[in-house]
Structure 1
């Protein structure tokens, strides 16, 4: 046990709850603190006065060896799996490197809620012994460390569904964890998620997750702990869930890959025990988060090769072909969605869209047909989806908060404003929402067909990573949840410039809506320097393979890692 508390950088204080709640919260924080070895503690002076960009701190702090820096910084999951299989690195060396770096990452960004290095090292040792004895790996992910979002059950560890009263230790692995474990994965930590798992910022009773590229900005939500850990290279591969942007938003904020599958394509069995009322209309899905396109492909190939639909009949048994999928048209027809008709993206996002258009038109003439894409009545979809999220009127949220005296966080209050009432909706109203959704989907696809595109490149968010407590507008991700279209968020070389270096163009002077006006005010007030800018690519429902085939075709033109 350290002689001082574990130092963690925090920029904005958390709301206070009742004494009972604060005592319970402190209990869990103390357990996390006790699990991190004293020798991994950063100097208090660094925590008190951190740089805005903390991505280089793990490399420079002196805690990691030269080999551990190499392992965590110079490999993606695919290369790391090959290096372990060839015995260039032992699984123990890899697990040690990533567990150490994750401990450093947490102190800088508040990304973890549980840390189990000892268990990871035992698993890695067993994998090394298996390889030495048999000459064979356990599976394609042999020795690859994988981090998990808090609500995903793993045997012997805490799970929570966004509230302190739901935190408990599971006695089983969920289906996804079991598949990855059988493939050789090493689990070593669980990552932070927001209260209620329904914010585009990750702030929970156990802390606020900061963006490693600029700690005054959000890491996104709800899979923000994963995104921050990956961005600072404390993880090589993670898993998220997405019902409104919870994979794609954090991936975009933190400059990494994130894939939201079509619903019931990848396994989510036991992810949310008891379910979530929003799924009566808007379905949740899952997918990987990582550092390269081929890692996204590897993850999905491993999961789909296990035939998860045999265990869970809800899953659609479409085999995975991924990046090997040939585009159906030549040239590939790429739509660029410049805005959604309600909010014009902030200047760096417009720069990134313009960059993508130029790359596709000039790098390989004739390979891509690039055209502007106008989404069909996207503002209408956003009104409908916000109402559909809370058919219980938010009563479940209030009950969870009351159980421990947990305070309602600012962004929880914000999202609950969309509930049409504080009463549970009648079946007839829920049915009305479902019918409206299906009618909208039919009109949208007819309009998509008329615009004749294979894929659409669009913003991930209204701007770069936002300042803390300002993740208000989910438009650019939630639209695709309402449609149930698969999407991948990918990095670009574009970053936000210093404050005052750019502004909205004169032709965009008139706001499209009150939301647009507010977005401009947030831009004028904020400082987003160094925030990475990602873009999003989407296609039709259950065309997940075609989506990855398109990404493979776009990879060289867009310089995708």
Structure 2
């Protein structure tokens, strides 16, 4: 007998809910019905003052230092962050599984090791880490939010999970992603919709949206996500923290689940989402010290190098991609950052024109689905899984079609030619880094994240890029320009859907882009930049 897809979803969600102890379940408290629920962890009574301090005051580097100084234990941190993640799930629908028992077991072993030997196992010793669900954990399902995959259990950890465990990280929570992983929102038939903690009418982003909501409400200090079109950077921008898309092949993707293996037209990457710029570097350095190329032959054998930045950094400023004009909060965020940089003798600012960004979307949206989406449609059909509206939108882009081998070769050649053209374009400006939007506006309203190009162009070009928080929407300052005339349909959609009151409290971030495989320099430049903001 075929099981209805609704039954599969209900069973999966019931299993998820069973991982949250009764002691961590919310009672009715003030603020639970608000749009902005970031204050609920403080007021709900589930967290002690000590647990509030540990979850709100420190980044991952700070927590690692506390453990090193014997001022906390991994076990204490696991309990605090599991409590906060349980709260986050009940408010935001961002968790697929709480790993309380496993995390406590690992934390206890790490605490005992440190107590008896006086040695830390690695730079992340005892720090709680969250991880996106499609990144395999041994003994757990990794569905990529396909209902047809709910019974597929991972036999091994994904390489990135193995690497972070060796560095001392403790996995305490798994987080939501959208149907098929291909949304800048997080909505699936498996777990429903994940929402933004600052305004629950807005999206937490996608596809690492569970991580976005979790870090946004400070229920994690460091998470692992993946990015093929903005899936780390969109959640970071939408929820007010830091996210990094590394160059491809710096970190292993082995063990990350999806619809199909072997797709190399646009490579996805795994990467960190963190509460500070320095934690991005902490994550990458910890991974590189484990030499991931020894476990995965596809990883470039390139150790984490000492950054080499010029005394005066040339920042290319790209306020607009020539297709969609950023909404007023993004414009103000640019003004804030540029005013700071202009007042510093350490920076030279150079305006940079975008290069064929509309073409970049037509190209990458075709490269995503070289089989016309057949692998995805086959998985949906297995259990009668209906498409989510945002999944249907991306899979029905005008460029999507089935390709023969010659068609694939032609398209990949176009990709490579565009990369070469873009690099030559940037070389004419002589800039070290690009400053640009992380999206057309703050977190979109649910069902409206339909413009990817501010992030996806850098996936197409394979340039490392990092998002950082700047400000929040101010309904008084971020007024709509009623005289503006949209340039095209995409621009008109972003213009007409913007009303400042709809985005109250929403974080606003920007994006810094570097040169391929010079990830170290990009993160060093980011740390320098955020210090003057």
Q: TM > 0.5 between the two?
A: yes
- Distance in structure 2 (CA, Å) of the matches to 1:526 and 1:397: 38
- 2:180 is aligned to 196
- 1:504 is aligned to 481
Paired residues of 1:218 and 1:253 also in contact (CA < 8 A) = yes
The answer to whether 1:212 aligns with 2:212 is no
Paired residues of 2:328 and 2:478 also in contact (CA < 8 A) = no
Paired residues of 2:329 and 2:473 also in contact (CA < 8 A) = yes
3-state secondary structure, aligned to 2:101? helix
Paired residues of 2:37 and 2:197 also in contact (CA < 8 A) = yes
- Distance in structure 1 (CA, Å) of the matches to 2:520 and 2:299: 16
**What TM-score does the superposition give when structure 2 sets the normalisation length?**
0.96
- Distance in structure 2 (CA, Å) of the matches to 1:71 and 1:331: 37
- Distance in structure 2 (CA, Å) of the matches to 1:504 and 1:396: 44
**What TM-score does the superposition give when structure 1 sets the normalisation length?**
0.91
Paired residues of 2:259 and 2:379 also in contact (CA < 8 A) = no
- 1:14 is aligned to none
The answer to whether 1:361 aligns with 2:342 is yes
- Distance in structure 1 (CA, Å) of the matches to 2:500 and 2:198: 19
- Deviation readout 1:2-40 (Å, 9 max, x if unpaired): xxxxxxxxxxxxxxxx96111111111111111111121
Number of residue pairs the alignment of both structures matches: 530
- Distance in structure 1 (CA, Å) of the matches to 2:380 and 2:398: 17
- 1:13 is aligned to none
Deviation at 1:289, TM superposition (A): 0.4
- 2:489 is aligned to 514
The answer to whether 1:159 aligns with 2:138 is no
3-state secondary structure, aligned to 1:433? helix
Paired residues of 1:192 and 1:224 also in contact (CA < 8 A) = yes
Of 56, 72, 78 in structure 2, the residue corresponding to residue 89 of structure 1 is 72
Structure 1 stretches of 5 or more lacking a match?
Answer: 1-17
- Distance in structure 1 (CA, Å) of the matches to 2:277 and 2:29: 38
Of 303, 308, 326 in structure 2, the residue corresponding to residue 326 of structure 1 is 308
The answer to whether 1:39 aligns with 2:17 is no
CA RMSD across the alignment: 1.8
- 1:286 is aligned to 270
- Distance in structure 1 (CA, Å) of the matches to 2:29 and 2:68: 41
Paired residues of 1:258 and 1:289 also in contact (CA < 8 A) = yes
- Deviation readout 1:130-189 (Å, 9 max, x if unpaired): 111112122211110000101011112121123111122212111111111112111111
**Equivalent runs, 1:305-384 vs 2, <5 Å:** 305-321=289-305, 325-327=307-309, 329-362=310-343, 364=344, 366-384=345-363
Of 55, 62, 66 in structure 2, the residue corresponding to residue 72 of structure 1 is 55
3-state secondary structure, aligned to 2:97? strand
- Deviation readout 1:290-322 (Å, 9 max, x if unpaired): 10111111111110011111121211122213x
- 1:252 is aligned to 237
The answer to whether 1:453 aligns with 2:436 is no
The answer to whether 1:442 aligns with 2:432 is no
The answer to whether 1:62 aligns with 2:41 is no
3-state secondary structure, aligned to 1:287? strand
- Distance in structure 1 (CA, Å) of the matches to 2:531 and 2:59: 18
- 1:231 is aligned to 216
**Equivalent runs, 1:130-145 vs 2, <5 Å:** 130-145=113-128
- Distance in structure 1 (CA, Å) of the matches to 2:393 and 2:261: 19
Paired residues of 1:219 and 1:227 also in contact (CA < 8 A) = yes
Of 460, 481, 485 in structure 2, the residue corresponding to residue 482 of structure 1 is 460
- Deviation readout 1:261-301 (Å, 9 max, x if unpaired): 01001121121367457x43211112100101111111111
The answer to whether 1:148 aligns with 2:131 is yes
Deviation at 1:480, TM superposition (A): 0.4
- Distance in structure 2 (CA, Å) of the matches to 1:92 and 1:50: 32
**Equivalent runs, 1:390-401 vs 2, <5 Å:** 390-401=369-380
- Distance in structure 2 (CA, Å) of the matches to 1:174 and 1:486: 22
- Distance in structure 2 (CA, Å) of the matches to 1:451 and 1:505: 34
